[in-house]
Structure 1
Amino acid sequence: MKLNELIACLSFYRKYGENDVTITGVTMDSREVGPGDLFICIRGFKTDGHQYISKAIEQGAAAIVAMEYTELEDTPLVVVSDTKRAMAQIASCFYSDPTSGLDLIGVTGTNGKTTVTYLLDEIFTEDRKSTGVIGTIQTKISEQTYDVSNTTPDAVSLNRFFHKMTEEDVDVAMMEVSSHALDQGRVYGLDFDVAVFTNLSQDHLDYHKDMDDYLRAKSLLFSQLGNHYDNGKKKFAVINRDDAAADILIKSSAQPVLTYGLEQGDIHALDIRTSETGISFTMVTPAGNVEVSSSLIGTFSVYNMLAAAGAAIARGVGLETIASAFARTKGVPGRLEPVSAGQSYGIVVDYAHTPDSLENVLKTLKGVCEGDLRVVIGCGGERDTGKRPAMADIAMTFADDVYFTSDNPRSEDPESILNDMTDHLSGEYRRITDRKEAIRRAVTSCRSKDILLIAGKGHETYQEINGEKIDFDDRKIAEQSVKQGRM
Structure 2
Amino acid sequence: MNLKQILSGIDYKIIKGSDDLEIREIQYDSREVKDGDLFVCIEGYSTDGHKYINSAYSKGAQAIICSKDVESIPDCTVIMVEDSRKALALAAANYYDHPADKLKVMGITGTNGKTTSTFMIKSILEAAGHKVGLIGTIANYIGNKKIPSHRTTPESLELQKLFKDMIDDGVSYCVMEVSSHSLYLDRVYGVKFAQAIFTNLTQDHLDFHKTFENYYDAKLILFKNTKNSVVNIDDEYGNRVYKDSKGNKVTYSIDNPSDVWAKNIHMHSRGVDFDVTYKNEMTHINLNIPGKYNVMNALGCVGACLGEGISIDIVKKGLESMLCVPGRCEIVTQNYNLGYEVIVDYAHTPDGLENILKTAKEFTKGKLISVFGCGGDRDNTKRPIMGKIGTELSDLAVITSDNPRTEDPMSIIKEIEKGVQKDNYIVVENRRDAIKKAMELAKKDDVIVVAGKGHEDYQILKDKTIHFDEREVIAEIVEELKK
> Fold-level match, TM-score > 0.5?
yes
Contact 2:289 2:323 in 1 (8 A): yes
How do 1:248-259 and structure 2 match up within 5 A?
248-259=240-251
CA distance in 1, matches of 2:419, 2:247: 47
Per-residue deviation, residues 42-86 of structure 1 (Å, max 9, x unmatched): 112311112222222233323111122454554211121221111
C-alpha displacement at 1:250, in angstroms?
Answer: 1.1
Aligned residues with identical type, % of pairs = 37
Counterparts of 1:41 and 1:429, CA distance in 2: 49
**8 Å contact kept, 2:5–2:94:** no
Deviation, structure 1 residue 333: 0.2
- 465, 478, 481: which one aligns with 1:482: 478
User: What is the aligned partner in structure 2 of residue 224 from structure 1?
Assistant: 225
Distance 1:379 1:73, change over 3 A: closer
Alignment partner, residue 328 of structure 1: 321
Closer/same/farther in 2, CA of residues 424 and 130 from structure 1, 3 Å limit: closer
Find the aligned partners of 1:35 and 1:443 in 2 and give their Cα distance. 56
Q: Report the alpha carbon displacement of residue 408 of structure 1 after superposing the two structures with TM.
A: 0.4
Structure 1 residues 26-35 or 191-200, which shifts more? Answer: 26-35
Letter in 2 for 1:170: V
Q: CA deviation at 1:277?
A: 2.3
1:308-333 deviation line (CA, Å, top 9, x unaligned)? 11111111111111111111111210
The code of the aligned residue for 2:285 comes to V
Q: Does 1:464 find its partner at 2:460?
A: yes
Are the equivalent residues in 2 in contact too, given 1:238–1:258 (CA < 8 A)? yes
Correspondence list, 1:243-322, <5 A: 243-263=235-255, 264-286=257-279, 288-322=281-315
Write the distance in 1 (CA, Å) between the matches of 2:463 and 2:132: 34
Matched AA of 2:397? V
Aligned to 1:207, the other structure's residue is in SS state: helix
1:346 match: 341
Q: Contact between 1:287 and 1:319, CA under 8 Å: does it hold in 2?
A: no
Q: Which structure 2 residues correspond to residues 177-196 of structure 1 after superposition, within 5 A?
A: 177-196=178-197
Alignment-derived partner of residue 442 in structure 1 = 438
Report the counterpart of residue 2 of structure 1 in structure 2: 2
Change beyond 3 A, Cα 1:476–1:463: same
Tell me: CA distance 1:153–1:19, structure 2 relative to 1, closer, same or farther (3 Å): closer
CA contact (8 A) 2:113 2:297 kept: yes
SS at match of 1:188: coil
How far the C-alpha of 1:485 sits from its partner, in A, is 0.3
- In the aligned structure 1, how far is the partner of 2:26 from the partner of 2:337? 51
C-alpha contact (below 8 Å) 2:13/2:81 kept by paired residues: yes
Q: CA shift at 1:19, angstroms?
A: 6.8
- 2: CA distance, partners of 1:77 / 1:222: 35
Match of 1:111 in 2: 112
- What's the TM-score, normalizing by structure 1? 0.95
Q: What's the CA shift for 1:24? A: 2.1
Q: Residue 466 of structure 2 aligns to a residue in which SS?
A: strand
Report deviation, 1:424.
4.7
What's the Cα RMSD here? Answer: 1.5
Judging changes above 3 Å, is the alpha-carbon distance between structure 1 residues 236 and 447 closer, same or farther for their aligned structure 2 residues?
same
Is 1:168 the counterpart of 2:169? The answer is: yes
On the 8 A contact 1:353/1:379 being kept in 2, the answer is yes
Counterpart residue type for residue 199 of structure 2: T
Find the aligned partners of 1:120 and 1:19 in 2 and give their Cα distance: 43
* 1:36-47 alignment, distance < 5 Å: 36-47=36-47
Q: What CA distance in whole angstroms lies between the structure 2 residues aligned with 1:467 and 1:442? A: 27
> Is the 8 Å Cα contact of residues 133 and 143 (structure 2) preserved in structure 1?
yes
In 2, Cα distance between equivalents of 1:6 and 1:188: 16
Rounded to whole Å, the distance in 2 between the matches of 1:203 and 1:56 is: 35
Counterpart in the other structure of 1:415 = 410
* 1:380 counterpart (372, 375, 379): 375
CA gap of 1:79–1:480, structure 2 versus 1, over 3 A, is same
Amino acid at match of 1:20: D
Q: Distance in 2 between matches of 1:200 and 1:393?
A: 20
Cα 1:15–1:168 shift into 2, 3 Å: farther
Deviation of 1:164 (Å):
1.1
Distance in 2 between the 1:53 and 1:69 partners? 9
| SS of equivalent residue, structure 1 residue 320 | helix
Deviations 1:290-318, CA, capped at 9 Å, x for gaps = 21112111100100110111111111111
CA distance in 2, matches of 1:215, 1:18: 41
1:27 aligned partner, one-letter code:
Q
CA distance in 2, matches of 1:169, 1:19: 34
State how 1:80-229 maps to structure 2 within 5 Å: 80-225=81-226
Deviates more, 1:339-348 or 1:317-326: 339-348
The structural deviation recorded for 1:287 is 7.7
Instruction: Give the counterpart letter for 1:449 in structure 2.
Output: D
Question: Amino acid of the residue matched to residue 353 of structure 1?
Answer: H
Shift of 1:289: 2.4
- Corresponding residue of 1:49: 49
TM norm structure 2 = 0.96
Q: Distance in 1 between matches of 2:314 and 2:353?
A: 31
Distance in 2, Cα, partners of 1:15 & 1:8: 17
- Matches of 2:349 and 2:8 in 1, distance apart? 44
Q: Residue 398 of structure 2: which of 403, 409, 418 is its match? A: 403
Q: Is the 8 A contact 1:444 1:482 kept in 2?
A: no
The answer to which of 252-261 and 287-296 deviates more is 287-296
Q: Is the Cα–Cα contact under 8 Å of residues 136 and 153 in structure 2 kept in the other structure?
A: yes
| Corresponding position of 1:361 | 356
